[in-house]
Structure 1
Amino acid sequence: MSSLAHPPAAPAVHSVDLAVSAVQSVDWLAIAPPTLTAAVALTVLVADLFVPDARKTLLGWLSVAGLAASALLLLPLLDGDRSTFCLTGDPRVCSYTADRFTLVIQLLVLAGALLAALLSVTMLQDARRTLPEGEYWFLLLSSAAGAALLPASRDLATLIVALEVASLPAFALVGLRQGDRRSSEAALKFFLSSVTATAVSLLGVSFVYATTGTLHLTQVAARIQHVDGQLRTLAQTGVVLTLVGFAFKTAAVPFHFWVPDTYVGAPLPIAAYLSVVGKAVGFSGLILVTVVAFPSYAGAWGPALAVLAALTMTVGNVGALRQQATRAHSAVRLLAWSSVGQAGYLLVPIAAAGYAEHPQKAIGSTVAYALMYAAVNLGAFAVAALVGRTRARNRVADYRGLYATNPLTALLLAFFLLCLAGLPPGVIGLFAKVTVFSAAVDAGLGWLAVVMAVNVVVALYYYLQWTALLFRAPEGTPPRHRVPAPLTTALAATAVVGIALSGVPQLVLRFAGAGLF
């Protein structure tokens, strides 16, 4: 957290009291979730030196417990907004704010990391010789700490630092499997493309700072609209370049090319982690820089994001359609292309915010959709992890006849796929898509709503094809899949959340149209 520190003479805010203090005050409860996650990461790294190989599983359960405790620390923060690391006596100008938006995204991040950790416990038991467990858990927890920090960041410096803390361990996790050339190639592609995008964003942040003289998002918003003359061109360039890095993290087209190879080359729990937590990082950062920092440039980023949304959902769904047409392809690769298509839907409300009178309300639809997507997509990856234990290639064809050997697992995967498709009984998927569709229509983006409707129909084909395959007669004697306890817990958790949200969709949909800041 040293990157958040400020000079001792800077005034501090611990509450709404605007009195200036000579000593920087830190609200430890506000920063508790990412701090505890980082502390557990360091504990695991040190403990790995002393725990014998036969008991390395304890490191995994310690990590799971740490992520669960970090998520529970969000509960005391529900009583109201809390801000810390403030440069002035004004609580609106702080580097870290635990408001409603922050808490919802942190819940998504920590719950997603927790489910990825449960998948990892089983995976590491099966691949102990090819994956170093201590390093694996340290990297996963470090990335989760950065991801939990990012939605609370309220200045561009902290935002970029959090983005890199979330990203750098992820590069190593993708290529951590020893002796796997495909994993190493995926990690290299992920690393090079991400570093390039980050460098572009840093250049954009430097331009924004040069024209406004501040890094705090609210102050940037107040000052950048008054920039004129030659500095205005510099400011416009800075806005565009800053958005590039976050567009990369969201896997928006044309910054999506790293996704299929990275997901296939990474350990499967890490692919699941990137598909949910990685997207949460990108979208929360994108929301903060557009809606909070650059609202006066909505006329520029609104149309740009609308075009990106249309391209992303179309390219993602066409790519997934090609995977389904050739069932020899990996199921994980199909899920990777599907996640690109889903990113397009998530971009729609953010683009609509550029046209809305109250943009903070429009992005509630993105948050609602992200919560639905996280639960059901992690569930689909959990089933893929189960099938991958007996089918190393994890092809789409390997799911044929799954109902004959694992009826409950097949039914759960069918439910998750129908949620992603937006069909009953996946009611929450249907309602989430309607919410996003409504955001586009309300913003006057009728053409984007039409593109989304067409893409939903295209996606129905490959989701239903995969679902139907589960119930066909198996070829030969299909293997029976034994479900270990951690994997059972992950499947049960995602199923309960998905079914509960389909039964009571207002638990998530209440974020749509609600102000989160």
Structure 2
Amino acid sequence: MTSVVQSVDNVALLPAYLAAGTAVLVLLADLLVARPRVTVGTAASGALATAVGAALVGAGGERGTFCVPDGCSYLADDRAGLVGVLFALLTLGVLALSGPLLRDGRVPVGEYCFLLACSMTGGVVLGAAGDLITLVVALETLTLPLYVLVGLRRGSRAGAEAAVTFFVVSVVATSVTLLGAALLYAVTGRLHLRPLGSALTAGSDLLDLPLTTVAVTLLVLGLAFKVAAVPFHAWAPATYDGAPVPVAAYLSTASKLGGVVALLAVVQYALPATVTGPVLALLAVATMTVGNLVALRQRRMVRLLAWSSVAQAGYILAPLGALALAAGRGADARTAAYAAVVGYAVFFVLLEFAAFAGVVALRPAGADGGTVADYRGAARRHRWVGAAFGLALIGLAGLPPGLAGLFAKVTVVRALTTGGAGWLALVVALNAVLGLAYYLRVTATLYAPGDAAGTTGTRPTRAVTVALAAATAVAVLLGFAPQLLLGLV
């Protein structure tokens, strides 16, 4: 028997070490010091250190570890660095939004911060996953703590129901994903993404096997759950609305980002575009259309944001659905599609987080998201917070002055036309117009005459205001200078 020695690069693993170390330090701080401020400060410091570590390692070029002749299970490159920074900063931002919730006393601080740090660890590893096992394990490490976070608030029946719904549907989706991965291994005998893609290139006899089509379809559909793509979206509105608002913000941004990263990894490197393209195109059309149509009827703020995030997932999936056509148009068309997915996902995460930060800032401590009518005139009472919230909504709609959202949609449409999927670009444009109705309705409500009866009369906390301002400022900066982002893709 020939032994295989794996190489281990500890520098490449530094972001994962920092994220996992944060979870351990949070446990120790909660056990030994037992002061909420120390526990939260430890989690925040660890998240910031993880972001710095991911940025430094990602800027150092591609580094592989746990490598065998077939490939590397962990690849730290610029995209992995970008993903690690995003997950760490999202964790830091959610901690900032969670101040009023944690002071309410119904959520245990130590467990809350520990679960967030564990989820962050899964996200950091997910960005560098180089094989199917690492990918699935990292995705589940990202998702598993969220089941508990959704239902962690004491005495909340809605939270418990949302957690059970999320758990049951997620287990089924994970089983489908694992079945697809197992069938792919049975067909090809490979687990690393890039060798798997080489085995399934055009002209390969393996593509003619019905088992290959079934395996690819199951894997894509299982991962589609993580981005709440139709028809695997039913868990999202109920879960978001039943969870504490900061947890809903994390679900809508970090969890969805994890699904996008996983789908992009397997579609770009492992799976044949001729099979994944039609499946993802169908999912994209159904997702953006259903999400926008149902969002028009929503009266509760968090449910409206949840359905809008479903529609946004359709825009993210659209360039991946055009890959079957782009494959015949050269590397430039494929590169444009991948860049559009990453760019849109980053812009969406920033604007969606800013929208949820606006909800937290304008609601009483510990309250749910309330109804849209509860925000009537809120921007007149809290001008800067209302302006940032409105700018986030306008950005999600893709209108100026929300240049980040406008650029993101233009990038998607351009990638679709470059890839020869003009019909899909038309569907995206029509859905973008449809989405204007509810985004503008909410924005108009913020500035409508009258009292914001459901909003707090006190000033938002400093941490929440800083998180909202930071997310909005970064989105505005990238909207004016999108090359800063595309240079990392």
Q: Is the 8 A contact 1:501 1:508 kept in 2?
A: yes
Measured against aligned partners, the alpha-carbon deviations of 1:183-206 in whole angstroms (never above 9, x if no partner) come to 111111111111101111111111
Of 14, 33, 38, which residue of structure 2 is paired with 1:32? Answer: 14
Q: Higher mean Cα deviation, 242-251 or 351-360?
A: 351-360
1:402 corresponds to 2:345: no
- After TM superposition, give the deviation of residue 479 of structure 1 in Å: 4.2
Q: Higher mean Cα deviation, 340-349 or 468-477?
A: 468-477
Q: Which residue of 1 aligns with 2:476?
A: 499
- After TM superposition, give the deviation of residue 507 of structure 1 in Å: 2.0
Q: Which amino acid aligns with 2:288?
A: M
Q: Which residue of 1 aligns with 2:5?
A: 11
Q: Which amino acid aligns with 1:336?
A: A
**5 Å matches for 1:42-441?**
42-52=24-34, 55-77=35-57, 78-88=59-69, 93-125=71-103, 127-128=104-105, 130-225=106-201, 228=205, 232-294=209-271, 297-323=272-298, 329-356=299-326, 357-358=330-331, 359-389=334-364, 392=368, 394-441=370-417
CA 1:420–1:230: 2 relative to 1, 3 Å: closer
- After TM superposition, give the deviation of residue 8 of structure 1 in Å: 11
Using the alignment, how far apart are the partners of 1:230 and 1:247 within structure 2? 22
Measured against aligned partners, the alpha-carbon deviations of 1:68-89 in whole angstroms (never above 9, x if no partner) come to 100001232202111100023x
Q: Which amino acid aligns with 1:364?
A: A
Q: Is the 8 A contact 2:83 2:123 kept in 1?
A: no
- After TM superposition, give the deviation of residue 383 of structure 1 in Å: 0.9
Q: Is the 8 A contact 1:291 1:360 kept in 2?
A: no
Using the alignment, how far apart are the partners of 1:30 and 1:177 within structure 2? 37
CA RMSD of aligned residues (A): 2.0
Please list every run of at least 4 consecutive aligned residues from structure 1 whose deviation after the TM superposition is greater than 4 angstroms.
Answer: 390-393, 476-479
SS state at 1:178 partner: coil
Using the alignment, how far apart are the partners of 2:484 and 2:473 within structure 1? 14
Using the alignment, how far apart are the partners of 1:480 and 1:430 within structure 2? 33
- After TM superposition, give the deviation of residue 414 of structure 1 in Å: 1.1
Using the alignment, how far apart are the partners of 2:61 and 2:126 within structure 1? 19
SS state at 1:30 partner: coil
Gaps spanning 5+ residues in structure 2: where? none
TM-score (ref. length: structure 2): 0.94
Using the alignment, how far apart are the partners of 1:118 and 1:8 within structure 2? 52
Measured against aligned partners, the alpha-carbon deviations of 1:47-96 in whole angstroms (never above 9, x if no partner) come to 222233xx2122111101100100001232202111100023x7xx1000
SS state at 1:354 partner: helix
- After TM superposition, give the deviation of residue 113 of structure 1 in Å: 1.8
Q: Is the 8 A contact 2:241 2:369 kept in 1?
A: no
- After TM superposition, give the deviation of residue 9 of structure 1 in Å: 4.3
SS state at 1:95 partner: strand
SS state at 2:74 partner: strand
Using the alignment, how far apart are the partners of 1:479 and 1:262 within structure 2? 24
Measured against aligned partners, the alpha-carbon deviations of 1:446-485 in whole angstroms (never above 9, x if no partner) come to 2211111111111111111111111111238774231212
- After TM superposition, give the deviation of residue 508 of structure 1 in Å: 2.5
SS state at 2:66 partner: strand
Q: Which amino acid aligns with 1:428?
A: A
Using the alignment, how far apart are the partners of 1:494 and 1:229 within structure 2? 46
Measured against aligned partners, the alpha-carbon deviations of 1:393-432 in whole angstroms (never above 9, x if no partner) come to 5211111111221011111111111111111111121111
Q: Which amino acid aligns with 1:95?
A: S
Q: Which amino acid aligns with 1:45?
A: L
Using the alignment, how far apart are the partners of 2:2 and 2:43 within structure 1? 34
Q: Higher mean Cα deviation, 502-511 or 397-406?
A: 502-511
Using the alignment, how far apart are the partners of 2:369 and 2:424 within structure 1? 37
Q: Which amino acid aligns with 1:298?
A: A
Using the alignment, how far apart are the partners of 2:452 and 2:300 within structure 1? 20
Using the alignment, how far apart are the partners of 1:388 and 1:267 within structure 2? 12
CA 1:436–1:39: 2 relative to 1, 3 Å: same
Using the alignment, how far apart are the partners of 2:117 and 2:456 within structure 1? 34
SS state at 1:372 partner: helix
Q: Which amino acid aligns with 2:315?
A: Y
Measured against aligned partners, the alpha-carbon deviations of 1:9-43 in whole angstroms (never above 9, x if no partner) come to 4234xxxxxxxxxxxx4211211112211111122
Using the alignment, how far apart are the partners of 1:147 and 1:161 within structure 2? 10
Q: Higher mean Cα deviation, 34-43 or 304-313?
A: 34-43
Measured against aligned partners, the alpha-carbon deviations of 1:286-343 in whole angstroms (never above 9, x if no partner) come to 011111011xx211210111111111011111111111xxxxx321111001100100
SS state at 2:32 partner: coil
1:41 corresponds to 2:17: no
Measured against aligned partners, the alpha-carbon deviations of 1:333-360 in whole angstroms (never above 9, x if no partner) come to 1100110010011011112233223224
Using the alignment, how far apart are the partners of 1:407 and 1:476 within structure 2? 13
Using the alignment, how far apart are the partners of 1:181 and 1:457 within structure 2? 37
Q: Which residue of 2 aligns with 1:326?
A: none
Q: Is the 8 A contact 2:80 2:128 kept in 1?
A: yes
Using the alignment, how far apart are the partners of 1:481 and 1:10 within structure 2? 63
Q: Which amino acid aligns with 2:39?
A: L
